[in-house]
Amino acid sequence: MTKIQFENQSYSVKSGESVLDCLIREGVAVEYGCKSGGCQSCKMEVVSGVPTEQSQSGLDDSEKAQNYFLPCICMPEQDMEVARPGADAVNKLETEVLALTMLNHEVLRIRLQRPDNYDYFPGQFLNLYNPDGIGRAYSIASQAEESFLELHIRHVPNGKVSGWANTQLKAGDQVSISQAAGDCFYTPGNPEQPLLMIGTGTGLAPLFGILRDALRHNHRGEIHLYHGSSVIEGLYMVEEMRVMADEVENFFYYPCVGQDSVPKGIFSGRENQKALADRGDLSGWRVYLCGHEEMVTSTKEKTFLAGASLNDIYSDPFISVAA
C-alpha cells in the first residue's frame, strides 16, 4: 500500500484511489472542484517522490518544473510527500555550508550560515533537503546567538539525505533548509528545577543545544546528561562534555556504552537504565529524551512512572520517514 505524507501526517492510499480521494476520506481540508483533472483547483506540489505522468498532463512546463501535479487524477505508484502549492517555497530557505567536521567515524558536524532573521530554539529541528528535494529532520545543536546553524548527521547506509550529506556535501555548497520546528527545547522560568537529559547517538545534538541554552539562561538546578551508544565508537564529543562537566558546577555527564568491557570514565550499560537507576524519584524533574525511537518511547513512560509530570517530559524520537 502506498503512503502519502501531507503536512506532517502519513496516509495510506487504497488500491485504485487518487491522492485527493485519500485525503478527503481522511478528513483533510483540501481544495478541489471537478475531481477529473479539468479545473485544476486541487493542484499540489510534490515534495518527494515522483507523480504519475498523467497527473501532470494538463500542466504547463513551469508548473511541471516546480513539481506541481493534480492529486485528483494521481493514483500513486510509490510513496510521496505532497504539499499545498507554494507551501514548500515559503518554508524553504537557501543557505551556505560553512564547515564540515567528522565528530566520529559516522557523525558529521555541519555548520550552515544562519539565514537572516532565522529564529529558533536550540534543540528544535529543521529539514535539510538533498538536491532531489528530499528533506529529513535534523536537530539544531547551535545557540541562538551564534551566526551558524550546527547539525550532527549520522551516516545511515544508503540514506538519501544523510548519505548525500556525508559523502557529497562540501564547504561553500548552497543547500535548502526549512524553518525550525518542534517543541523539545529549554524554557526559562524555573531555574532551580533539576533537568534529566537522556540521548542516544546523535540525540546528543539537541541535548547539547538545550544544555548550553539552559546554562546561558543561568539555570541553577542540577543538569544530568546521559549519552549512550551500543558501541564505544558511537560516542562523540566525550572530551568536550567532560571539560564542561569539570567547569560547570551543576552539570554532570555520563557517557554510556552497551558493552561489558569499557575504558575508565565510560559507564557500562544502557543510558536510560543507568539514568533511571541513578536518579530514582523524578518528582519535580524536567526530562529531555532524544534519539532512538524505542528508547525515547519506553523511557518517556518510565520517567513518568518515576514521578516526572507529563508536562515536564520533552521528547524527540528520531523517527525514520523511510522506515
Ligand X SMILES: Cc1cc2nc3c(=O)[nH]c(=O)nc-3n(C[C@H](O)[C@H](O)[C@H](O)COP(=O)(O)OP(=O)(O)OC[C@H]3O[C@@H](n4cnc5c(N)ncnc54)[C@H](O)[C@@H]3O)c2cc1C
Which residue ranges make up the site for ligand X (CB under 6 A)?
A: 125, 136-139, 152-154, 156, 158-163, 182, 202, 205, 316, 318-323
Q: How many CB atoms lie within 10 A of CB 125?
A: 22
Residue type present at position 209: G
Q: Which lies closer to ligand X via its Cβ, residue 68 or residue 186?
A: 186
Q: Which lies closer to ligand X via its Cβ, residue 99 or residue 322?
A: 322
CA–CA separation, 117 vs 140, rounded Å? 16
Q: How far is the CB of 276 from ligand X (least distance, A)?
A: 23
Structural contact between residues 206 and 316, judged by C-beta atoms closer than 8 angstroms: yes
Q: How far is the CB of 44 from ligand X (least distance, A)?
A: 22
Q: Which lies closer to ligand X via its Cβ, residue 63 or residue 293?
A: 293
Q: Which lies closer to ligand X via its Cβ, residue 248 or residue 321?
A: 321
Phi-psi sector, 211: left (phi>0), alpha (psi -120 to 50), beta: alpha
Q: How far is the CB of 140 from ligand X (least distance, A)?
A: 8
Find how far residue 109's CA is from the centre of its chain. 15
Residue type present at position 309: S
Q: How far is the CB of 310 from ligand X (least distance, A)?
A: 19
Q: Which lies closer to ligand X via its Cβ, residue 59 or residue 225?
A: 225
Q: How far is the CB of 83 from ligand X (least distance, A)?
A: 17
CA–CA separation, 139 vs 182, rounded Å? 9
Cell readout for 73 is: 487524477
Q: Which lies closer to ligand X via its Cβ, residue 305 or residue 319?
A: 319
Burial 56-82 (b: 16+ CB within 10 A, else e): beebeeebeeebbbbbbbbbbeebbbb
CA–CA separation, 323 vs 319, rounded Å? 8
What is the DSSP secondary-structure string of 28-58?
Answer: -----SSSSSSS-TT-EEEEES---SGGGTT
Q: Which residue has the cell 524533574?
A: 285
Q: How far is the CB of 150 from ligand X (least distance, A)?
A: 10
Q: How far is the CB of 98 from ligand X (least distance, A)?
A: 17
Cell readout for 233 is: 565508537
Nearest residue to the partner ligand X, using Cβ: 159
Q: Which lies closer to ligand X via its Cβ, residue 69 or residue 236?
A: 236
Q: How many CB atoms lie within 10 A of CB 233?
A: 11
